[in-house]
Structure 1
Amino acid sequence: MQMKLEVVPLPVTDVDRAKAFYVDQVGFVADHDHRVSDELRFVQLTPPGSACSIVFGEGIVEMAPGTQKGVMMVIDDADAARAELLSRGVEVSEVDAQPWGRFVYFADPDGNTWALQQLPPRP
């Protein structure tokens, strides 16, 4: 059996604010924004180069806004990622160097948190 993780749901309070944050500040690509009905709006965004997207909207998730914690993405360069996010107005942590990688952290306007990991060099 083959399985692929392709979509991670995020609970948000304001769909337009979340979309602007992820597209304009973090740099995700807006794939879909469809209002299916008065109760259902589907917004799907993808980080550049990723096979996995995030989804949020109205009628999409049952989690409380801000409760998705520690979603992790792999990046090439923690310093460059931090600098780019800062230049886009994202509050981002200092680089946290660990034996298993270099990390930067940020949260969206609702408090959903992200970790960006630069993998250590492979032998």
Structure 2
Amino acid sequence: MDWTLEVVVLPVSDLDRAITFYRDRVGFHLDHDVHTEHMRIVQLTPTGSGCSLVLGDLPAQRQMEPGSMRGLQLVVADAATARAELVARGVDCDEISVIDPRDGGTFFGFSDPDGNTWAVQELRVRADRPLIPVDHRDRNGG
């Protein structure tokens, strides 16, 4: 049986500010922005990912302090290029750190406006072997 992680609930204080950050600066695809009289739910997905972020005012989100998520991790094939893209879009990123010269040992980080933190790991193998094949990325716009 496959067990897949497909959603991470992220606590934020301002949905519109978070959408602007994750969509326009980080480059995630805005999948859904649903409003009802009782709630608002937003889903964003990184290109090439099978896991999305859900922001909003669900009961689970109301129980978490905005900015309390630490060490969420993204994986890219080229950390220097990814970092340069984020910096060009106005994201304040840490410098690249090489913990181990082997594939998977290079990282940098950034935070969202609430202080939720992200680690970005370089796995060069992803350039040739993406986690999700290109022909299955339709929902992510990739």
TM class by shorter-chain length? over 0.9
| Structure 2: 5+ residue stretches without partners | 126-142
TM-score, L = length of structure 2: 0.80
Give secondary structure in 1 for the equivalent of 2:80: helix
Structure 1 residue 109 corresponds to structure 2 residue 113: yes
Select the structure that is richer in helix.
Answer: 2
Name whichever structure is richer in strand by fraction: 1
For 2:73, the aligned partner's letter is: M
Q: For each residue in 1:40-78, what CA deviation from the matched residue of structure 2 results, as whole angstroms up to 9, or x when unmatched?
A: 111000001111000011235121000010000110001
1:47-66 equivalences under 5 Å are: 47-60=46-59, 61=61, 62-66=63-67
Structure 1 gap ranges (5+): none
Corresponding residue for residue 12 of structure 1:
12
Q: Percent identity?
A: 52
Structure 2 CA distance, aligned partners of 1:104 and 1:48?
19
Q: Distance in 2 between matches of 1:15 and 1:47?
A: 17
Q: How large is the RMSD of aligned CA atoms in angstroms?
A: 1.3
* Paired residues, number: 120
- Given the two structures, how large is their TM-score scaled by the length of structure 1? 0.92
Partners of 1:113 and 1:36 in 2: CA distance: 29
Off by >4 Å, runs of 4+ in structure 1: none
